Chains A and B, each alone.
Chain A
């Protein structure tokens, strides 16, 4: 079976078109179409993954068509191991999000079918942003993705959803404009050096003065740091996660934020190797701050959604630290971390969403004793928490430990400070676990219902993936390793040799 990336992007659009043709009144049918479409996309991605040659470091599934020839803009897509893993994560999570949030479009400003049209368009753009190999195309997806998210938060969220949506938009917009300036700069430079192009690989061979390179690097990096988000560019995230529905939060934190860390690898490192080296110490410091700061802020939260958002800030600190540690362990670990964080955060947000919709509150103190009222829901939340604190045996442990050990060999102090994050993680998980699940049942919670069959079906694959990859991460690592090694060696780095065995 030959599935192209274009077809993969077309599938959700076709689903969206079918949805658009449906009558507004039939919400159930809209949900079913959305679910079928996302499942189809997931199956198509699996077919692509099966056909992917994992030891081949060249881009695969490459397609390139002229788009705006006068500007040298191409519709060009292709996959390496890193983008494949992220697309796989995106399309596997999408049907789970649809199924888990079956009823979350009801309190929206617009119809159910519009909700799922937005989700499908977002999915298509997420695939596009990871697959693009033309900087301009990447930029278009990067910016256009904001629109469906904006409407998903502003139209279907809760609380101060409008303000949160706007905040999200302005932050992203600010970053996007900086990136745009850098892209124009690259384009101008390429014109002076043999012909205008937006092709990522061609751009990576540009000659630049170090000042130019640093400035262009920063344009990209700040945009990605906002997206990721890295401290101190993070303040939009808790508000957005607080207001978004839990399904939207999964897509926002689990998928969209990865565009930031993915962009660092694909654009910052590849296009600006010298600037990368210049800024690496700063970025490592910001990452460590994110890890510890995000964890402390998570500990201090009273609202379950904001808490999860801050845990993600801590986790993204690990990811950026791994990326910039410039070791194969750090780099592979960071990419694996992106995938694992997607599932781990999905589990946390989805279960938290179910808890919140049942209780009618997202304040942690309003829960209590759920373990004995709704055992399956409580256990799912506990499991998600264990995944978030990277318990060995679960997938996040593998990636977190790889990042730490990979960072330690080059930046021991950063790794040591970051490791304190594992104690803080125990606190930010076990405190809400105790308040929400343990203790006597808080009045008002006695009659909460446990997970429905649909919800169990939605969470089971997430749990299965987290467990499976905890013990057997090889299927993903074998895809990631060649790409990660390639990126590191392109930058001229090799792993530090064991310090004590040099003379042997």
Chain B
């Protein structure tokens, strides 16, 4: 390993931006957004420099570590503030700073009318710094700081317009559900330290072969809990839809391209744990498969364009989690889908923002229609993202999603068939709800409100969309050409033997495309051939109603956790006053020989207290005198 002193700048640059903008306050209103964007871009430049240096080194020396200082050191619990840049983290660094910078640029224009634009950019920079720490930390505890740091940034940005009570509630919900997941990360670290004596990635990787399957499984399951919270996976998925309260660039950066994929990073980073813990791995694929269907189903009933995309994000991350749960053969595909998704989903979110920009912040797609005429660039860039997420060759999603479906089928036995079928079905539903979004937004008759004045967005907004669209077209091809990404990441993962092929790749591809065609066709029949109402129809089936209520996710959480919790809290508050305090008062009153003594006149009590101190002192001296005689 080389000592490389450049790593810290990746984090320090955006962190400095956040600090300057927050401390300077309104004084930096005029230039804050420029500074923040430049710092994010410089961090991207440092990332590119690191990549070029990494490419210049032989494979076994590509990873670099930097110890910054001793962070926590008590007994055998030794944790340095240390950074690790390897083949995996560089992928994230470039995604975070690259897409991050594009979204900074977009936001300059998108947020230009907001009184608090500077504060927005401060949070964005804070997010970039925390996310980089998350992927660069060389131990689980360093990762934890970034992990909760992005949670904080996410909270602040979801609640950026928290003067609206619903938005404030959404941000609180996200923070609390994430904390439930974070608890899993805490447990994982505690178990790792208690059983293996270390919390660093390198240390655990070295110790893992000596550990029992039971403790590795426990660590793995707890890491999965953490991943479900941050990545909005079942059963901790319910916060993501509400998180769309944040400004749209935030949804693109944090709740689509980067932060919500942290769970995939965590599982991939901990591959040496999961590979040795089959039960934990099985749970990972189950969570992935459930969520990819869950998100896709929810997505079919969303009229809010951002919430439809959020449901889609949940579903697509389900694919990544599924891929990561498939072990060494799947990690690279999970990361590939993560990267391609970063392009096409961020692009589509920015497109949604562009649409909202022209439609007076309307998010209801039933009040859109025929926008391709008025926003051609948005239509084209969004459309390329659409083709990518569907998995139409040769667009990006085709390469990454197809590989996950194929690998799932090849997982073996009934498990493989179930997982593969779920992934295949998900692809069909994805095609349906995404086509629905396209039709409702860009085609058909206009169903606008009076205040809408659709127009193409300014260049600062469409340029990032265009760049991301290029990524949506090319990234899959580039990453999979000659197995580029697979080979790049291979040194990090255990070797895997050749799996028997359940289905030939061409069969899987054909099936996937067939499913997509069916999904698209159903959407066309349902939404393109008849007039779309600008209000959601009420006379729908019971099933549709349940899907509209997000498969009752909030009802469940409220019934099982929130209301009993509230009842418990109010009971405890009452009990504390009546029983515990009451008992003490009773004892006190008896002891002092007068009922209601505690509420009596205070002068009387000063006297009794003085008397008691006096008695105490006399008793002490008397006792001492007695025993010393």
Contact = CB atoms under 8 A, between A and B. Distances in A.
Given A296-B569, A297-B572, A501-B207, A408 B190 contact: yes
Given A176-B616, A187-B624, A430 B197 contact: no
Contacts of B183: 419-420, 422-423
B125 to A, nearest CB: 15
A393 interface: yes
Contacts of B77: 328-329, 402, 405-406
Nearest to A420: B183
Interface residues of A, number: 90
Contacts of B163: 369, 371-372, 438-441
Contact of A391 (B152, B215, B605, B627): B152
Interface residues of B, number: 76
A288 to B, nearest CB: 15
A143 B77 CA distance: 38
A65 interface: no
Contacts of B595: none
A500 interface: yes
A472 interface: yes
A249 interface: no
Contacts of A405: 77, 189-190, 193-194
A434 B195 CA distance: 40
A500 B211 contact: yes
A159 interface: no
Interface string B21-44: 000010000000000000000000
Interface string B577-621: 000110010001001000000111010011001001100100111
A163 B75 contact: no
B186 A422 contact: yes
Nearest to A301: B573
A51 interface: no
Interface in A268-317: 293, 296-297, 299-301
B374 interface: no
Contacts, number: 214
A163 B182 CA distance: 42
A174 B573 CA distance: 25
B624 A296 contact: no
Nearest to A497: B197
A371 B162 contact: yes
Given A371-B162, A440-B163, A495 B75 contact: yes
Most-contacted residue by chain A among B77, B197, B613 (CB, 10 A): B77
A405 B568 CA distance: 28
Nearest to A236: B584
Contacts of A402: 72, 74, 77
Contacts of B196: 498, 500-501
Contacts of B616: 143, 176-177, 180
Given A422-B179, A423-B183, A499-B195, A438 B168 contact: yes
Given A71-B628, A426-B179, A430-B172, A169 B568 contact: no
A495 B77 CA distance: 10
Interface in A151-177: 154, 162-163, 165-167, 169-171, 173-174, 176-177
A119 interface: no
Interface stretch (B142-150, B318-326, B334-342, B395-403): B142-150
A327 interface: yes
A174 B588 CA distance: 9
B73 A477 contact: yes
Contact of A300 (B182, B191, B195, B570): B570
Given A392-B147, A501-B196, 8 more contacts: A166-B602, A173-B609, A301-B573, A328-B74, A333-B74, A409-B193, A439-B168, A472-B71
19 contacts: A71-B621, A163-B599, A166-B602, A166-B609, A180-B619, A180-B620, A235-B584, A300-B572, A332-B75, A420-B183, A426-B176, A438-B159, A438-B165, A439-B165, A473-B72, A474-B69, A496-B194, A498-B197, A500-B210
> Shortest 5 CB-CB distances between A and B: which pairs?
A498-B197, A328-B75, A162-B602, A438-B168, A300-B573
Interface of B: 25, 69-77, 81, 141, 144-145, 147-149, 152, 159, 162-165, 168-169, 172, 175-176, 179-180, 182-183, 186-187, 189-191, 193-198, 207, 210-212, 215, 568-570, 572-573, 576, 580-581, 584, 588, 591, 598-600, 602, 605-606, 609, 612-613, 616, 619-621, 623-624, 627-628
